[in-house]
Structure 1
Amino acid sequence: MSQKFELLAEDRPDQGKGASRRLRRTGKVPAILYGGHRDPRVIALDHDKLVHSLENEAFFSSILTLTVGNKSQPCIIKDVQRHPYRNVVLHVDLQRIIEDEEIRVSVPFHFLGEDVAPGAKAGGVISRIMTELDISCLPKHLPEYIEVDVSTLELDGIVPLSEVKLPEGVAFVGGDEMLEQPVVMISRPRREVEPEEEGEAGGQESIDTEPKED
């Protein structure tokens, strides 16, 4: 079950770039709430509290409770715009949800058994090809994450998307061609050139280039 997160917001009457800059100087983040067959609503969130919530991975794949005034609304995060190099959130998009309508969300993969996988114990390198998956489900079925078990994966082994067990009521977004896409694999480490081989090659080169005596 997803964790519970609450967001407190206030309406913002002014819009535009200038108004957004003024709002950020007061420690607020401009945001918009849309969907649910209702008109979009422009709101403002507390910046520091939002940044703290964003540090939790589950925040992005959970049903949030947004409260404006004395009314609350369930919603999900759809987009977060950040400053290119500062830890500053510039804008947030939130989507209202309706209990009996499916939503599309990107949820992370959690990889289990990497430390005991036979391929890893044999010196293989674990590569996480996919770290998240776009899914579609009703709000009540939204998972916090999707588990991928690699505890039995051998060297050169691959777990394709078709072998990942999705939770009840959850489907991935995309065509059947995605089923064979690798999610995680264990590959053999690259063979390093032996020092002896390097020495032999260097010695041969010195012999070839050495001037001949008369």
Structure 2
Amino acid sequence: MATEHKIAAAARGDEGKGASRRLRRAGKIPAVVYGGHADPKSIQLEHEKTWLASQNEWFYSSILTLEVDGKAEQVLLRDMQRHPYKQIIMHMDFQRVSANEAIRVAVPLHFINEDKSPAGKAADVAVTHELTELQISCLPKDLPEFIEVDLSDLKVGDTVHLSEIKLPAGVEVPELKLGADHDVAVVVARFVKEEAEEAPEGEASAEVPAAKVSDDEEGGDKE
């Protein structure tokens, strides 16, 4: 059974940029909750507690129990506006969910057993994760916090496609209904070709390792 994640909030009456500025100075986050066949509601959250919660993966892909003045609502985080350089959450949007209506959510992919696979053990092989999250559709009760991708059998030259991901019961990938062209690669294992630079004349050539390439406070305010 999924863990219940509770987020405390309070209703707010004042709206607009001035009200939002006052809330932030008081250590609060202006937010709105909408959907679920009910009127949108302006709310506020404690910044410190919410910031700590936002450091967890589940905060972005789980059903949250939003307690507004003691009344619980099931919601999904749909948008979070951050300050461009400070550790400040500027604004948040939550969407109510209904138990009998399917939702679309991006959930993280957790890749397991890669180091135990033939490809993971092979020298000069790069295993590339083409996707790190997956857009799924399901009822709220079936929403997983993440989806595991077991790579224990991954061999050199293998490509794991979207259709090969083992999904939990009640979960589907809408992208796959759009045709074979949308069955994209999720993981690819291929040989890495190392190229040695040609040494200057009269010097011995040497291997060259490949380099890994890897507005203020109110700016962009929604209110």
Same structural fold, with TM-score higher than 0.5 when normalized by the shorter chain? yes
Q: Which has the larger radius of gyration?
A: 1
Q: Describe the superposition over 1:92-115 as per-residue Cα deviations: whole angstroms up to 9, x where unpaired.
A: 110111111111111000101111
Deviation at 1:178, TM superposition (A): 5.7
Aligned mates of 1:29, 1:178 — CA distance in 2: 42
Aligned to 1:80: 80
Deviation at 1:71, TM superposition (A): 1.3
Aligned mates of 1:23, 1:32 — CA distance in 2: 14
**Deviating 4+ runs (over 3 angstroms):** none
Aligned mates of 2:179, 2:21 — CA distance in 1: 45
Deviation at 1:179, TM superposition (A): 4.6
Structure 1 unaligned segments of length 5 or more: list them. Answer: 205-214
Q: Output aligned runs, 1:150-189, within 5 Å.
A: 150-174=151-175, 175-177=178-180, 179-189=182-192
Aligned to 1:66: 66
Structure 2 unaligned segments of length 5 or more: list them. Answer: 204-223
- Range moving further from structure 2, 25-34 or 74-83: 74-83
Aligned to 2:220: none
Aligned mates of 2:167, 2:180 — CA distance in 1: 17
Q: When the two structures are superposed, what TM-score results if normalisation uses the length of structure 1?
A: 0.88
Q: Output aligned runs, 1:56-205, within 5 Å.
A: 56-123=56-123, 124-174=125-175, 175-177=178-180, 179-193=182-196, 198-199=198-199, 202-203=201-202
Q: How many residues align?
A: 200
1:40–1:46 distance in 2 versus 1, CA, 3 Å: same
Equivalent position SS for 2:144: coil
Q: Describe the superposition over 1:71-126 as per-residue Cα deviations: whole angstroms up to 9, x where unpaired.
A: 11111111111112222111111011111111111100010111111112112112
Q: CA RMSD in A?
A: 1.6
Greater share of residues in helix: 1
Aligned to 1:31: 31
- Range moving further from structure 2, 178-187 or 46-55: 178-187
Aligned mates of 1:7, 1:180 — CA distance in 2: 37
Equivalent position SS for 1:135: strand
Q: What residue identity is the alignment partner of 1:144?
A: E
